[in-house]
């Protein structure tokens, strides 16, 4: 582009900047902007389409089309040429628009007399706001220089929207619209509060700059500082081979000459250094999102992180912006580690993540703290601002950002009803889960943190059916000491006040990777090197943990169970480690447990068919329902397309449960069911009717489960289930619901 074109581009941007200083309302400002762009670009039509909702674009301002079409002409994402630009995030440039595939004629606009069409997306860092369109009567193809110039203009419009320049009677101000996000339940519960961003977004207040030479000096200096910081990271001696490989890819971005050159070219066209960084980030994001290569798509994180670091260098806006955390904070983040989440603690009302997984350690911490959590809420980071009102429905996996008052009222009614139900459950706290036909069901809670233990009393749990020991490994940057673990386990047993606690040995691998452990690139980690497989292959870590547990017992009863046992041989090997450590502790003169119980988690269908000797030798067995269900149905519980399609009340799954109950019965092996489904009242009733007399769940589920069991007759429930099976029904849920309806609860 020549100097004349650069000057024209800068003049246009300065005129747009001047509009910001005028006391116009939102619509007047938009109208003035379309007039200026059409005039500067020498074209008859300039129109701005903005998103009314995530699927609908609306004509919000125009120079050249009929004014009466403004706020009346709408189209769906992907519909027509405008919709195509919005969907693809890429320009459409044609000399004969009506002949283009997908063209949609909108007679109310009067556009039939215009032949040429140039549409570019108005976007900001993955956030698509609308489309900027130029049209003219003559059949012209807009030049590359024209496209470059209008893309720069679109970037400035995106920044102006970010600053609220279009607020007013057009009703489409960015970060002011109510919006709903559908994600996945990470932890049940409902919360109302205000957004607290884990990493606040950088706000660019100066998208247009007068002096390109000064801005180029700024960008070069900032990139130089960024490169030094990345090189320093790579020079760290503690990095292993894999970490270095990741950082080398990161360094390649930072040292890319093309990256810096493209930003400098945008500065020459009139953007500030900050706006040029964001424009390049948006453009590169669009390119990477279109590619099929998963590795290249993953580099989006590198690109975003580098761009955000560069913006923080340029603006001086650190992560601590000085903003005060609201009294009712709902944490919003792309992802978060367990240690960071624990730092926030119980101050949080809720957590919303763009990424995460239902089995992640962050989700485990959220459950421990009883904080409602929604994961996979894609796009919320770009839309949320600190202090925005937010509603988190962990039960449905739905988030309402800046909700309308009718939504808020309905949500508060739901929270009030839940609070009322909790009061009712609290009255049952000290009563046993005794069914009307005299069956006693033991209700235990799952835990993993000291913060969980107060729930033992508050929930009415009779003990801890699962204490996850991996969290103490996950929240540290190095392997914990044996003495540290022994102290922690002793505190857990102290807090339990004589109630049983089943300590599950280290369950890492799959989605739980220790930060100081060499990661394994496995095609299917859920079925890979994890849990007891790691323990038996790394006996030093297993023995250290067993020693800590034995010393923590201080002569009290101790329950140890091994995770992910898939064959009898694994249990025998793990059990022998315990017996050896008992012998060693005795020889050292240390106190050993008064009563030691060694159990296993049955999480793979194969273990249900182990030899009789396994069921005789195991002191107790805990069905790990979450994993058992996914392996039984071959349905990945992290995959939203399949995880909800399969039901534990399917007769095939219940046949497996029946089989396990029958295998344990001759040996008197204590059997429990542990997992999300144990905490769902209908499922809990079914398990109890199948003969499972111990259920372990999150503390908040104990009240609802106990309330239902105390009014149910297990014999009648089992009869209803058996009748459904005899009728050839695939699922017994309907039969159980009919039985409960007859109770008139």
pLDDT in tens, 230-279: 787 777 655 556 556 666 766 787 788 888 898 998 898 888 898 888 88
User: In whole angstroms, how far apart are CA 366 and each of 336, 460, 477?
Assistant: 11, 20, 20
103-111's contacts with Cβ under 8 Å and 24+ in sequence apart are 104/75, 104/79, 104/80, 106/69, 106/73, 106/75, 106/80, 108/66, 108/68, 108/69, 108/72, 108/73, 109/59, 109/62, 109/65, 109/66, 109/69, 109/73, 110/65, 110/66, 110/69, 111/45, 111/65, 111/135
* Structure confidence at residue 171 (pLDDT): 40
Task: State how far Cα 215 lies from the chain centre.
Answer: 37
CB 439 within 8 A of CB 714: yes
194 assigned to active site: no
113: DSSP letter: G
Distance CA 49, CA 62 (A): 9
- The beta-strand segments (E) located in 571-706 are 596-602, 620-624, 670-674, 694-697
Catalytic option among 46, 175, 361, 559: 361
Yes or no: is domain 433-712 CATH 3.40.640.10? Answer: no
Please enumerate in sequence order all residues whose Cβ is within 8 A of that of 674, keeping only pairs 6 or more positions apart, or say none.
446, 465, 466, 601, 622, 623, 624, 625, 695, 696, 697
Domains in the chain: boundaries:
3-162, 179-200+324-419, 212-315, 433-712
Rg of the chain, C-alpha, whole Å:
31
CATH architecture, range 3-162: 2-Layer Sandwich (3.30)
Helix/strand/coil (H, E, C) string of 182-218?
Answer: ECEEEECCEEEEEEEECCCCCCCCCCECCCHHHHHHH
* Structure confidence at residue 2 (pLDDT): 41
Which residue numbers in the chain have pLDDT < 50? 1-4, 168-173, 516
* Structure confidence at residue 309 (pLDDT): 81
Q: In the beta sheet, which residues pair with residue 351?
A: 331, 373
Distance CA 44, CA 655 (A): 73
Length of the chain equals 745
DSSP assignment of 622-641: EEEHHHHHHHHTT--TT-TT
Q: Which CATH class is domain 212-315?
A: mainly alpha
* Structure confidence at residue 169 (pLDDT): 43
Closest CA to 669 of 621, 732, 728: 621
Q: Is 431 exposed, middle or buried (0-12, 13-18, 19+ CB in 10 A)?
A: exposed
**Between 294-315 and 273-290, two packed helices, what is the crossing angle to 10 degrees?**
170
Distance CA 620, CA 466 (A): 12
Is this prediction's pTM over 0.85? no
Q: In the beta sheet, which residues pair with residue 673?
A: 623, 695
What pLDDT digit, counting tens, does each position of 482-497 carry?
999 999 999 999 999 9
Distance CA 164, CA 576 (A): 67
Q: Is 273 helix (H, G, I), strand (E, B) or coil?
A: helix
The phi and psi torsions of 669 (rounded to 5 degrees) equal: -75, 125
Distance CA 205, CA 40 (A): 24
CB 321 within 8 A of CB 226: no
Torsion of CA 30, 34, 37, 38, to 10 degrees: -170
What pLDDT digit, counting tens, does each position of 273-300 carry?
988 888 888 887 777 666 665 555 556 6
* Structure confidence at residue 642 (pLDDT): 82
Task: State how far Cα 16 lies from the chain centre.
Answer: 38
185 assigned to active site: no
Please enumerate in sequence order all residues whose Cβ is within 8 A of that of 348, keeping only pairs 6 or more positions apart, or say none.
196, 329, 330, 331, 369, 371
The two counts, helices (H) then strands (E), for the chain are 26, 23
Q: Tell me how crowded residue 478 is: count the other CB atoms within 10 A of its CB.
A: 9
DSSP assignment of 294-312: HHHHHHHHHHHHHHHHHHH
Yes or no: is domain 179-200+324-419 CATH 3.40.50.960? Answer: no
Tell me the longest C-alpha to C-alpha distance in the chain.
97
Please enumerate in sequence order all residues whose Cβ is within 8 A of that of 200, keeping only pairs 6 or more positions apart, or say none.
317, 319, 321, 323, 386
Q: Is 16 helix (H, G, I), strand (E, B) or coil?
A: helix
User: In whole angstroms, how far apart are CA 108 and each of 27, 66, 119, 138, 263?
Assistant: 20, 7, 19, 21, 40
Closest CA to 597 of 484, 447, 463, 437: 463
- The beta-strand segments (E) located in 345-439 are 350-353, 373-375, 389-393, 398-401, 433-434
Does 179-200+324-419 match 212-315 in CATH topology?
Answer: no
User: In whole angstroms, how far apart are CA 46 and each of 66, 119, 278?
Assistant: 12, 10, 24
């Amino acid at each position: 582009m020549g100097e004349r074109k650069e000057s024209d581009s800068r003049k246009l941007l300065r005129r747009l900047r001047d509009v910001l200083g005028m006391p116009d309302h939102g619509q007047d400002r938009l109208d003035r902007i379309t007039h200026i762009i059409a005039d500067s670009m020498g074209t008859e039509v300039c129109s701005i389409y903005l998103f009314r909702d995530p699927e609908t674009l609306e004509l919000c301002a125009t120079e050249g089309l009929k004014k009466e079409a403004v706020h009346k002409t709408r189209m769906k994402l992907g519909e027509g040429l405008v919709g195509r630009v919005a969907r693809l995030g890429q320009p459409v440039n044609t000399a004969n628009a009506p002949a283009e595939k997908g063209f949609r004629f909108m007679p109310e606009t009067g556009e039939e007399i215009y032949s040429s069409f140039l549409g570019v997306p108005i976007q900001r860092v993955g956030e698509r706001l609308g489309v900027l369109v130029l049209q003219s009567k003559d059949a012209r193809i807009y030049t590359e220089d024209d496209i470059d110039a209008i893309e720069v203009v679109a970037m400035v419009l995106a920044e102006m929207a970010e600053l609220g320049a279009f607020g007013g009677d057009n009703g489409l101000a960015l970060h002011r619209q109510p919006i709903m996000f559908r994600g996945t339940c990470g932890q049940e519960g409902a919360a109302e509060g205000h957004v607290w961003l884990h990493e606040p977004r950088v706000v660019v207040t100066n998208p247009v700059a007068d002096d390109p030479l000064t801005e180029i000096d700024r960008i070069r200096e900032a990139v130089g500082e960024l490169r030094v910081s990345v090189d320093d990271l790579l020079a760290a001696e503690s990095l292993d081979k894999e970490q270095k490989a990741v950082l080398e890819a990161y360094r390649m971005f930072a040292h890319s000459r093309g990256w810096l050159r493209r930003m400098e070219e945008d500065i020459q066209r009139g953007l500030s250094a900050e706006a040029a960084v964001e424009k390049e980030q948006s453009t590169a994001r669009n390119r990477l999102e279109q590619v099929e290569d998963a590795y290249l798509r993953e580099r989006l994180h590198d690109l975003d992180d580098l761009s955000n670091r560069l913006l923080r260098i340029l603006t001086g806006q650190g992560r601590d912006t000085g903003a005060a955390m609201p009294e009712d904070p709902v944490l919003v983040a792309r992802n978060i580690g367990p240690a960071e989440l624990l730092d926030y603690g119980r101050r949080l009302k809720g957590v919303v993540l763009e990424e995460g997984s239902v089995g992640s350690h962050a989700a485990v911490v959220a459950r421990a703290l009883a904080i409602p959590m929604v994961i996979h809420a894609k796009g919320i980071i770009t839309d949320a601002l600190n202090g925005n009102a937010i509603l988190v429905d962990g039960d449905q996996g739905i988030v309402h950002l800046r909700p309308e008052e009718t939504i808020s009222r309905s949500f508060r009614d739901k929270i009030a009803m839940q609070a009322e139900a909790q009061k009712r459950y609290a009255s049952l706290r000290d009563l046993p889960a005794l069914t009307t036909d005299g069956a006693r069901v033991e209700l235990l809670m799952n835990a993993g943190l000291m913060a969980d233990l107060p729930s033992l009393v508050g929930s009415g749990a009779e003990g801890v059916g699962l204490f996850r020991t991996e969290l103490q490994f996950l929240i540290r940057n190095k392997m914990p000491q044996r003495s540290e673990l022994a102290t922690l386990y002793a505190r857990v047993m102290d807090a339990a006040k004589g109630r049983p606690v089943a300590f599950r040995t280290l369950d890492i691998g799959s989605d739980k990777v220790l930060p100081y452990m060499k990661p394994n690139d496995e095609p299917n980690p859920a079925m890979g090197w994890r849990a007891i497989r790691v323990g038996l292959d790394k006996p030093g870590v297993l023995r250290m943990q067993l020693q800590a547990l034995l010393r923590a017992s201080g002569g009290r009863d101790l329950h140890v169970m091994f995770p992910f046992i898939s064959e009898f041989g694994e249990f025998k090997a793990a059990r022998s480690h315990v017996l050896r450590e008992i012998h060693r502790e005795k020889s050292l003169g240390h106190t050993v447990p008064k009563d030691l119980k060694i159990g296993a988690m049955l999480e793979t269908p194969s273990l249900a068919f182990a030899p009789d000797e396994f069921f005789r030798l195991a002191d107790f067995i805990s069905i790990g329902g979450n994993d058992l269900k996914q392996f039984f149905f071959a349905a990945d519980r992290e995959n939203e397309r399949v995880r909800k399609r399969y039901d534990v009340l399917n007769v095939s799954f219940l046949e497996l449960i029946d089989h396990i109950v029958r295998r344990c019965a001759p040996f008197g092996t204590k059997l429990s069911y542990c997992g999300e489904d144990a905490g769902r009242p209908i499922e809990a009733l079914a398990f109890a009717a199948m003969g499972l007399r111990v259920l372990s769940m999150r503390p908040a589920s104990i009240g609802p489960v106990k309330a239902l069991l105390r009014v149910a007759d297990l014999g009648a429930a089992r009869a209803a289930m058996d009748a459904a099976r005899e009728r050839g029904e695939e699922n017994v849920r309907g039969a159980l619901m009919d039985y409960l309806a007859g109770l008139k609860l």
